[in-house]
Structure 1
């Protein structure tokens, strides 16, 4: 099916309407809005409520609730379920096509210290008929964009769906997050669309944004360098929709009505099996009043820690590290409601100078990356030993769905997902301290942002 937010391709029109003052935007009024793209701010512009009938010309009206929501009072839609919905009546914080709220601190980079504390909650009511979904819509962009189409990731969280509708793309897995089980769907329509569909319908959700975005990043569909630009909650109606209501909505660094108790601080991680490109971490478990849902592994080479992985186990092996490099690691725990523990004390790890061949080390550099491919160049091979190298071999795992389309200054073979790169006659002999390099180009599934890691040299 077409995705619910193709309406953003008419962003120039929406921006023009905003510039002409054609949005209904009184500061404190709580009106009934029937204009297709009408909107109004509430709570002194803390949030904006929008009618947003982008996919139909049929009537839709919403009665805005100044305390933080709205009710669809008229909805005459009859869109085909094989196509796009009629619109997305919603309430949001942040910026949507230059229509921005006050005090949200958005856009915010997903690697920023305050990102992990961002949370949102919503309560909803559903009518007994109609075809619709009830969903969050979280937008990410590679830049701190406040207007126009976001081109990074669109993260949708479906609390409920009625009728024969489905997210864009196809189902790629299931996951337990925020105290529930979700189907995970992925597609790309010029930007990544990752949808989490709750296995059993719910009228409420209280969660931290990073609970879901961490899963997006771990699947290769998003990046920590991207910016969260808006957090929206509402409905996508295909047929009918009268009676759909957001009863309450919150966004910020606190609030919510569910479990507010974070897990205890995890134990300081201990490092073992440190090689030139990997290290294994283990730590003592956290405790929680309800239950620990998982752990985040945070890594730093300077002052700033960013999440590099995690899971439900109290151990993690970090791969793709550079030889002779010092890293610091901390651990934090999260519960089913998305509450985050304080970060553990840090452990410092220095990788080995290389393995095999008297001290062979390999350092890859991503030269360029695009939607469905990338170039890794140079991949530098260095003799860190005290004797000469007579030939070298570099191996690394190739992510699923990736294909090497060209390689230069080396030969290669692929077997079982492992790439083996070998030196040529002119660059196989390296004196102590000497370096050479090769490069390669590869394709990958559209929307997958992964590049290979875990290089080893012998």
Structure 2
């Protein structure tokens, strides 16, 4: 779960720039602008409770399988700070409900974790019959809905985002690096910002998004919602179509993995997902 990093000033977009092109296990974003390193969070209790029959784990790298999905307590950047993170699920009837809580201090401009729900590829495969990979030329709709709450009002420096992985191969495995990555930011706080430089402002699904482009050995595209939301109902192909129209993401590529979760830099908080779903085709 490790990846190399270079220690750069906080004013530099670091979390992706510091990632090695080998061993990457998390999304590739960073803080835009100078953000002072916070003191360790004051003790605070954030109530989190798995429903009867649910599973909870605070072990780094823990995996909780749930049908076509699995929850990943991905703490790939924890060496840049100190803290803890837990994940839990509360059911899979109709929609997957799950959550994560965290408390992190340390390097302010470095991502500590990306606790997330995964469908498809993530340096290998954990579930069967996921409907992935799918080639962009197939033009299959990828419809997703996500309803969640973030607590407390100031959860630190973090974001809530989808992370999509793409390969040139129809059947990538653990050893195959992606060729492209697309992030879709729904929520951010504490100065979190994406890798790369802003290319445009686009309108998708009735709202505006700032589009960033960067490179860490593969292309990284980030759609950052211009206003926070805690509920999304999206067709992810609308985002890939935008990139294809710009000539940046060929339709010969395969969408191999879909993730949704929260990148945490520093702070204390919780993400509670009450409903999450992905439908392919």
TM-score normalised by length of structure 1 = 0.48
Q: Work out whether 1:191 is the aligned partner of 2:187.
A: no
SS of aligned partner of 1:182: strand
Instruction: Answer whether contact 1:153 1:221 (CA < 8 A) is retained.
Output: no
Aligned to 2:275: 248
RMSD: 2.1
Instruction: Answer whether contact 2:135 2:254 (CA < 8 A) is retained.
Output: yes
* Residue in structure 1 matching 2:78, options 43, 53, 56: 56
* Residue in structure 2 matching 1:139, options 140, 145, 165: 165
RCO (CA 8 Å, sep 6+): is it higher in 1 or 2? 2
SS of aligned partner of 1:217: helix
The CA deviation at 1:79 is 4.0
Aligned to 1:10: 23
* Residue in structure 2 matching 1:169, options 175, 196, 199: 196
SS of aligned partner of 1:88: strand
Q: How many residues are paired up?
A: 232
Aligned to 1:120: 144
Q: Work out whether 1:106 is the aligned partner of 2:118.
A: no
Instruction: Answer whether contact 2:150 2:269 (CA < 8 A) is retained.
Output: no
The CA deviation at 1:7 is 8.0
In 2: Cα distance, 1:122 partner to 1:8 partner = 30
SS of aligned partner of 1:9: coil
Q: More deviation in 84-93 or 64-73?
A: 64-73
CA 1:149 to 1:242, structure 2 compared with 1: closer, same or farther past 3 Å?
Answer: farther
Instruction: Answer whether contact 1:100 1:146 (CA < 8 A) is retained.
Output: no
The CA deviation at 1:35 is 1.7
Gaps of 5+ in 2: 1-12, 26-52
Aligned to 2:236: 209
CA 1:11 to 1:253, structure 2 compared with 1: closer, same or farther past 3 Å?
Answer: closer
Q: Work out whether 1:70 is the aligned partner of 2:98.
A: yes
CA 1:8 to 1:207, structure 2 compared with 1: closer, same or farther past 3 Å?
Answer: farther
In 2: Cα distance, 1:65 partner to 1:150 partner = 32
* CA displacement, residues 81-115 of structure 1 (integer Å, 9 cap, x when unaligned): 43x31110001211212233232210111112xx4
* CA displacement, residues 93-148 of structure 1 (integer Å, 9 cap, x when unaligned): 11212233232210111112xx4322111112111121100000011111121323
The CA deviation at 1:246 is 2.3
Gaps of 5+ in 1: 13-28, 255-458
Aligned to 2:253: 226
CA 1:55 to 1:7, structure 2 compared with 1: closer, same or farther past 3 Å?
Answer: farther
TM-score normalised by length of structure 2 = 0.76
Match runs of 1:235-314 below 5 Å: 235-253=262-280
